[in-house]
Every structure is written in structure tokens, then in C-alpha cells.
Chain A
């Protein structure tokens, strides 16, 4: 049980201007579930890429089963028994499960044999999956199973998983954990990357914590509190934002019987969506990715038009208005996808400020743009939201994900909205910045702004939302007070069971 499988000694990897990993050493034993913890930019990805042969270390050595291990590419890593499930899936939606798996194999067996192997593996490890289904029809959780089974077919000795639960419902997480425990009991080691502390405490035996590219701590997470782990990650003690016991005002943003057909074959159709957000209230909308979040956001932002009465803002019917007219009434929106949706990648931050702030900040006069004023607004957002950038003239794509997220959030929040809709406000943002964004959201609510936060991070919703509703296959549940809900009830709501506890 305690035999060493993979030992890393003194690994260092530097990129121009930044040392991603510095003197990193860690040991993974056979059959161990080992957590790799750290904030964004702490060096987790670089470390994993070195193990998987995508990046070569500058100095330091790796040993597998005591023998020297120097993978030149992922193929060599796989041949040595190391498999990896990435956070973002690389699957073809129009192909079946079996076809997708065959594509990733060096020498795929005959289709019928492969289908049988897939079925065997999926039954052995409790991962129900039909090899003949088209991937486009699968949920995110099922797609992840495809990736996991693809790995398991290689009989790996070490399975690396990068943020595997970010797309799963609590119930799906339970299934995944059962599988991982089975694997571990059979002697397969698992390197588990996450920043969800509770998960790590329930699953992992050892945790290595990275900060600024260095190992700061190796501990048994079961013996630590989540708070202690978080403080090791961040390197400081920090206070989580506190709710100030707001009173909700009169209804501000109302969605009434919204129906919207999907425009793409793999999109989601919205059915009878109704919701009400009062002034000064935060409504949290949870749901597994791909259950209509993007579609709901598009219907609210005006990218997709509905009937006039389907969306009302302070009594005005805005359901059929274009995005700029809705902004004029005070509706501001922050989409999930930063690059390409919320911001144009190749344009500068100044130009990206104009993208949505034109109407409310009066940055143009009869169509003629006042670039000085636009620059002023962009620089104010950069200062107030602590966006780390050399200047406002840098292209949006040159910023790190977290910094661009801060810019986009700031751009919407600083337009004095009457209603604000944000999809995934802190996705990919480090813990300190995420706390700052949440605090600002709560401040806005205190000032009487009606806010909808769509998020897959349930902990986040627990922290800031007053009420909770779940999206499932394009239908929205009734909203319920956040405090009264348990994780189990939320899980059932996410799975589409109305009334939560009653049905259970």
C-alpha cells in the first residue's frame, strides 16, 4: 500500500517573466488519492503538464517505480501508465461514445469488441454509459465518464484528474467518488486537482499545497479544517464576505412564462421559465452546465428576443427590446464566456469598455465616440477592480482569465445598473479576487440593485444568494430561500425534482 509509485524531486520550470514551478518535490504512493491544491496561477497546471509529458522541466528529476521517467510527449506518458482527464473535454459531439474513444487509441480494436470493453469497464466501475449514444446528447457528467473510461481502458497506474467536479451535480459527484475509491482500492493512484476543499477532505489521503510555484505544505486533509486548508493556499487569513441581513424591496426584474426554442441541435430549449427578483435581492440560479444557462442569459440580455411581456423591468415590458435599449433601462449583463462573448479578444480594454458601457455612461454623442471619455471609464474600472494590466491599451486576450473577469465584472457593475445578471461571476478567479467580486455584488444589492447570479459553484451561491432556483433541461424550479436548503435538497432540485424534500 505504501509503495512509492511516482516521485518528483526538485522540479523547476520557468517561463519568460515567471517561475511556474520552483523546487517542487512530491511523492505519490500506489493506490493513493493525492490532492494537489492551490490557487489559480499557483503552478498546478504546469506541474501536471510535466507529469503528462506536455512540458519538459528545466531541472529536477521524476522517477516512476524507482526508474527514471522522462516522458517526451503524452503518448510516452500513457505508455508508462499515466492517464489524464482534462477539465475541458476533447470530444466530437456528432460522433458516438465508442467512436470518440476509438479516435483516441493507438490501435483501436474492432467496434464490436470495443463496445463490449466499454460496457465491461462502465459496469465494473459503476459508470453507466451506452457506447452507441451520440456525445452531443450526453450531459456534462456523462461526457466526463467518456473521458474517464477512455483512460481506464489503458489500465493506468496513475490517473490525473483536473477539476473533475466543476461540471457535476452533487449526486454525480457521489458516483464519481465511488468510482475513484474503487480504483484506489485496486491499487490505481489518483492525482486529484481541485480547489473545492470539502471534496478533498472527504476523498483524499494526502494533500500537497502549492503557492507561487512552491510546495508550502504536505498534509493529511482529513485532519485539517477547510478553513485551515484555504489559508495554506492563500498564505494569509481572510474573512469571507458577510451578508448584512437585507430586506428585499418591490419586484424589479420579472420573467413571466418565457419560452424560447433552441437554435442549435445541441442547445437547450427554455420552457415556461418564470422568476421574480426584488430590489436589493440576489437570486442564485444553479444548474449543471448546458441546462439552459446560456440561453436564459441571452433571453435576458436581448441577444435572443422573446415576447414583450416575457421580461419586465420595473414594470416596463422589455422582452422584445434589443440589448442597447435594455441597457438604457438599466439592465446590465455579464456572460460566462469572457473571451469572445463578454469581450472581443483582439480589441483593447478601452475598446472593450465601449462594448457595453456606451449607452449608460454616455460615451458617444449621436454616434460619434468620445474616446477620451471611454479611456477614462476603462481606467476607472481598472483601478476600482484592481485589474492587473500594463495599460488600458492592451488587447483583452493578453490578460489572464482572472484579470479579464475582474475587468468585465467591473465594467458592468460600474454602470449603475437597476438590475444585474451575471453568469459565473468568479469562474477562474483566485480566492482573494473572488471574495472581492462577491463583496461588491453584495454591496450593489445593499444599494437596491436586483441581481441574478447564475453559477455552478454551489458554495458561492450559499454565500451570497438570498433565494435559490435550479435550471434543469431548460426549466426553472420555483425559487426557495437559500438558508432553508440543504445540499441534498439542492441536488434534487438540480436533477429536476420539484419541491425538493417533499419528493425525497
Chain B
């Protein structure tokens, strides 16, 4: 009989080992899935993990890595603060979309004025505000009426997607676009573009913002009272209330920060890599960031590494789709496996597996 025994203190070793074990398990299970789909698993894994970094066309893929990882990390950092406190914002995708809409709307309102010093900062503020406002809906409903923030924030993603479609086909559509959906190009409008800062690296302002967010979050969690309160509320809500943490303020704070950062990621994406607001610019970064946050153990530096890894599976997945004809759903399933195995392996930090002989009763 196999039994699970709770460890007296959580295992430090396993806390660090689980991401690695989870990645290996994902490769094995993913490989089996690819094989079942009639593809060579080793070629597929090579496409995903090897080619983007070290393959023949790596020069093309490498800059893509930071472009993908930047928004994932930026959003995941915000989410991780809430997740630590036990506040579950599952709707970062919606806040990310609203940030992009707000930022794009500001830029388009000024078009074709040449005033980058004014317009670009305003866009960034508007983007953060857009995400913040969208996150305040579940926050206020939770603090006022005790609704569940998981459901409210998630369902608001679908509302945001409808708003995005409405904007791309309606008020924000390019008047000179011959009827094509989508806004004017923000990347080619000099006041609003979020360009690559160093050629060939993929670094744009969003990547810079993500790096700053990682550093601030690391300091906040290790050195500051607010970070301590966040952790305290997550591990012992009653002790947190006794200590003086106001749970309602914490809900507002955590949802506000994660919404604001998601909104920032949205505005950087729409003015840079995507270049214009379209019905489908969003790419699901807001959902994938949830995986990134957990894969990074809700730790800022861990999230940095996890963002890069997941970014890699995005790019490699695209490459495998193009080169081998793997369906997109298979790549999504592959990413999902990563989270699944991570959570499963997580059990080993809290419990140990023991094989016991059956005792006769």
C-alpha cells in the first residue's frame, strides 16, 4: 500500500527540484502525445527546446524570446503577489486587453500630432489605468458583496474580448484601412511606437518594465512590511488580521497591482510587437502568465526564469507548427502539462511517499 505522509517541515530540496522534475515529466508525456499524433517526438522536442536557441535559424528566434517573455513576466509578477496572499486573479487576460485598448485609444486620439514626450507617457499611464480599472470590478464586488474574485475576473475576460472586437471593428478602426478591421499602426506612428531598443535583442520598453517589476517585487517580498503582510495573509489569514492586515485593503492592493501590470503589458504589446490593435492581438499572455507565476514558485526570480522557459515553448511551438505541422492545440496541451506536472510534483514538498505493508485487521 502506498501512503502519503505529511512532512513535519516542507522539504527545501524538493521546492527547488520540482520545477526540474516537472519539465522532464512534461517532455516525456508531451513526447508520448506527439508520438500518438504521428510525429517523431524527438524532432518535436528539438524544434521546441533546441532550435530557437541554438539551431540554424536561432538568430531569428532569439529576439522573439524576450518579446514573448517580457509580457509574461510582467503579468506574472503582478499575479504572484495576489496568489501569495490567497487572492486569485484569473482574469489578467482581460486586464491586459483593457490596458491595450486604453493605451491605443490615447495614442489614436492624438494622431497625427508629433509629441512623443507627451503621448507615449500618457499611453503608458492610460494602459496601466485600464488594467487597474478592469481589476477593480472583481475587487470592489469582493470587498462589498463578498463575490468570488476567481469567477468575476475570469468572466470579465470574455467581456473584455467583446469590447476589443467592438473597438477593432468600430471606434478605433483605421479610417484609412480600406475596411480592414484593426487600428492604425501604433508602431509606425512616431509618437506611440514602442521600438526595439537594441537591435537584434528583442528588448523593448515592456521588457525593461518587466525587469524593474522583478526587482521591485523581490525587494518588496523580502524587505518590506507590505510584502510580509502579503505572505502572512496567504499562510495564516487569521494571524494576519490579528497583526493588523486589513483583508479588504489587501484585495484592492493585490488586484490593483496585478491589473495595472497586466494593463502595462497590454499597452507595450499593442504599440510594439503587435504594432496595432486587432481583434486577436492578445495571444493569451494573461492566461499563460498564471502558469509562469506558478512555475516560478511565486518567487520573482523564479518567475523570470519561468517566463523565459514558457516563452521558449511558445516560439518553439510555433516552429514545430510551421516545420512539422503539429496542431496549435497540441502545443497548448504541452504547456498545460507543464503546470499539471508542476502542481503534482508540488505535493512532494509537503508530503513524502512511503510504501507500507498491508496490516492485517
Contacts and interface: CB of A to CB of B under 8 A. Distances in A.
Interface in B229-260: 231-232, 235-236, 238-244, 246
A374 to B, nearest CB: 10
Interface string A344-367: 111100010011101000001001
B312 to A, nearest CB: 33
Given A303-B242, A355-B243, A398 B228 contact: no
A129 to B, nearest CB: 32
A342 B239 contact: yes
A301 B242 CA distance: 7
A368 interface: yes
A369 B244 contact: no
Contact of B225 (A323, A335, A369, A395): A369
Contacts of B239: 340-344, 355
A341 B225 contact: no
B9 interface: yes
A369 B223 contact: yes
Given A303-B241, A327-B244, A344 B223 contact: no
Interface string A448-473: 00000000000000000000000000
A346 B236 CA distance: 8
Contacts, number: 68
A103 interface: no
Contact of B361 (A73, A301, A322): A73
Given A344-B232, A398-B9, A369 B224 contact: yes
**Most A CB atoms within 10 A — which of B226, B238, B244, B246?**
B244
Given A322-B246, A369-B225, 15 more contacts: A303-B241, A323-B241, A327-B244, A335-B242, A340-B238, A341-B242, A343-B236, A343-B239, A345-B236, A346-B10, A346-B235, A347-B231, A355-B243, A364-B225, A371-B223
Contacts of B9: 395, 398
B224 A324 contact: no
Contacts of A343: 236, 239
Nearest to B231: A347
14 contacts: A72-B361, A303-B242, A322-B246, A323-B242, A323-B243, A324-B244, A335-B242, A344-B236, A346-B10, A347-B236, A354-B228, A355-B242, A356-B242, A368-B224
B68 to A, nearest CB: 34
Interface of B: 8-10, 223-226, 228, 231-232, 235-236, 238-244, 246, 359, 361
A303 B245 CA distance: 9
**Most A CB atoms within 10 A — which of B8, B225, B243?**
B243
Contact of B224 (A323, A351, A367): A367
B56 to A, nearest CB: 49
A169 to B, nearest CB: 27
| Interface size range on A against B | 20 to 34
Interface of A: 72-73, 301-303, 322-324, 327, 333, 335, 337, 340-347, 351, 354-356, 358, 364, 367-369, 371, 395, 398
Given A322-B244, A347-B235, A356-B242, A398 B359 contact: no
Contacts of B241: 303, 323
Nearest to A394: B9
B11 to A, nearest CB: 13
A461 B236 CA distance: 31
B107 to A, nearest CB: 36
B228 A323 contact: no
Nearest 8 CB-CB pairings of A with B: A323-B244, A344-B236, A324-B244, A367-B225, A344-B239, A355-B243, A341-B238, A346-B235
Nearest to A371: B223
B361 to A, nearest CB: 6
B223 A340 contact: no
Nearest to A325: B244
Q: Determine chain B's interface SS by DSSP, over half rule.
A: helix
A67 B243 CA distance: 56
A320 to B, nearest CB: 13
A333 B241 CA distance: 13
B267 to A, nearest CB: 29
Contacts of A369: 223-225, 228
A243 B235 CA distance: 41
A355 B225 CA distance: 10
Given A323-B243, A340-B236, A345-B235, A351 B8 contact: no
A335 B236 CA distance: 14
A346 B240 CA distance: 13
Contacts of A333: 242
Contacts of A398: 8-9
Contacts of A322: 244, 246
Nearest to A341: B238
Contacts of B8: 398
A364 B232 CA distance: 16
A366 B231 CA distance: 19
A337 B243 CA distance: 14
Nearest to B236: A344
Contacts of B242: 301, 303, 323, 333, 335, 341-342, 355-356
B209 to A, nearest CB: 23
Contact of B232 (A327, A341, A347): A347
A303 B359 CA distance: 49
Contacts of A301: 242
B306 to A, nearest CB: 23
Contacts of A354: 228
A73 B9 CA distance: 28
A358 B225 contact: yes
B254 to A, nearest CB: 16
A142 B31 CA distance: 61
A333 to B, nearest CB: 8
Nearest to A370: B223
B213 to A, nearest CB: 18
A335 B242 CA distance: 9
A330 to B, nearest CB: 15
A267 to B, nearest CB: 14
Contacts of A302: 244
Contacts of B223: 368-369, 371
A343 B241 CA distance: 11
B118 to A, nearest CB: 33
A398 B361 CA distance: 33
A341 B226 CA distance: 19
A369 to B, nearest CB: 6
Contacts of A368: 223-225
Contacts of B236: 340-341, 343-347
Contacts of B224: 367-369
